[in-house]
Amino acid sequence: MGIGVVFVGVIAAIGITALDPVPVTSSTATPPPVLPTTAQTTTGTATPRPTAPTTTRSAAPTTTRPAAPTRTHPADVRYASEGYQSKPISSPVPWRDPQSISQARTWSRNSVLYSKGVDGPIWCPHDPLTANDSPAVVTDRMTKTVDCLMALWEGSMANSGFDLPRPPVYLVDKPFTTACGRVDPQDFAGYYCTASMALFISYPVVTSRRYDGLTTYVNEVTLAHEFGHHIQARAGIMQGSWVLQNQLSGAAALEENRRRELQAQCFAGMAIAAFAHSYGLNDDDFATILKTESGRTGASTHGNSRSMALWWQTAMGAQGAVVRCNTFAAASSDVA
């Protein structure tokens, strides 16, 4: 059972109820409403590396919010992404599904991807989203972040024999229908639909939590988590895990769901670790992000506070070794 379905991955925002991933069998999709459309046509080259460190951030409006820190994006190291060329969005053939329980187990538990490493640091010299950012700015930032994520993951995926097409990013503000079903942007911050291989960002949610002095890069983390589901989907980890989950029920099924979600969170952590130098993160920022990530809602499907913090910190210390994010090999107590 379960073979042939498509899958949804979602992340809960703070204060937003998580959607449970819902396998559906529809293979058609209505294009969702989008605000700006620039994300659909991204091509060109990677962000140029400056010859000297630059400071590009100014204070956020301060009538009700604290001033944003002034960030420096240091160019004082050699970045692994140097020379990386941004790729256009592509529409690949969907990943096949496992043909047996044994294969589902191998794909999720013993993926060849776990023998690889992602390279860092990655040049991603962007400030976090700030108050009053327009849809165009949010879309531009998310598009640039996808560039950074592609630069991070492309090598290890290719070395594993997996295709990594560039997914489109849709900024959405109204309920919409995808191949994964109908969803409402009020219910999620980020959303990934395997069938359309598309990333969705909720404008209402990112608007409500844009920089307030406590949420450093929180929206970029969300996108990195959803991109983590894209990695899972392209490597067959997602499909393998779903086939296994569909054999289970109750608490065991939820545990399998959490293993998948906590791995996406670990992949997000590896991305932020790789971007940290060019982001200009300091110790306070790391502590703030950890606090935010360990405070997310949706424990039954996504993991409790301790698990969220555990996998985030594991990612921070992984030095790009993907095997450190193999949540499918972890003790049940570490994916609670």
Candidate residues 11, 122, 243, 308; the one interacting with Zn ion per rule CB under 5 A: 11
Of 123 and 311, which CB lies nearer to Zn ion in the complex structure?
A: 311
- CA torsion angle for 281, 286, 290, 296 (degrees, to 10)? -30
Q: Show the binding pattern over residues 260-289: x = contacts Zn ion (CB under 5 A), - = does not.
A: -x--x-------------------------
Q: What phi and psi values does residue 190 have, to the nearest 5 degrees?
A: -135, 155
- Least Å distance between CB 213 and Zn ion? 26
- Least Å distance between CB 21 and Zn ion? 8
Of 79 and 311, which CB lies nearer to Zn ion in the complex structure?
A: 311
- Least Å distance between CB 71 and Zn ion? 27
Please enumerate in sequence order all residues whose Cβ is within 8 A of that of 38, keeping only pairs 6 or more positions apart, or say none.
Answer: 136, 139, 140, 143
Q: Show the binding pattern over residues 31-70: x = contacts Zn ion (CB under 5 A), - = does not.
A: ----------------------------------------
- Least Å distance between CB 262 and Zn ion? 9
- 174-to-41, 83, 110 alpha-carbon distances in Å: 22, 38, 39
Contact between 16 and Zn ion per CB under 5 A: no
Candidate residues 5, 8, 9, 191; the one interacting with Zn ion per rule CB under 5 A: 9
Among 135, 169, 174, 177, residue whose Cα is nearest residue 31: 177
Q: Is 281 helix (H, G, I), strand (E, B) or coil?
A: coil
- Least Å distance between CB 225 and Zn ion? 5
Diameter over CA atoms, the chain: 59
Among 193, 176, 179, 271, residue whose Cα is nearest residue 225: 271
Q: State the distance between the two ends of the chain, measured CA to CA, in whole angstroms.
A: 26
* Footprint of Zn ion on 208-267 (CB under 5 A): 261, 264
CA distance 305 to 16: 15
- Least Å distance between CB 66 and Zn ion? 30
Of 11 and 310, which CB lies nearer to Zn ion in the complex structure?
A: 11
Q: Which residues bind Zn ion (CB under 5 A)?
A: 9, 11, 261, 264
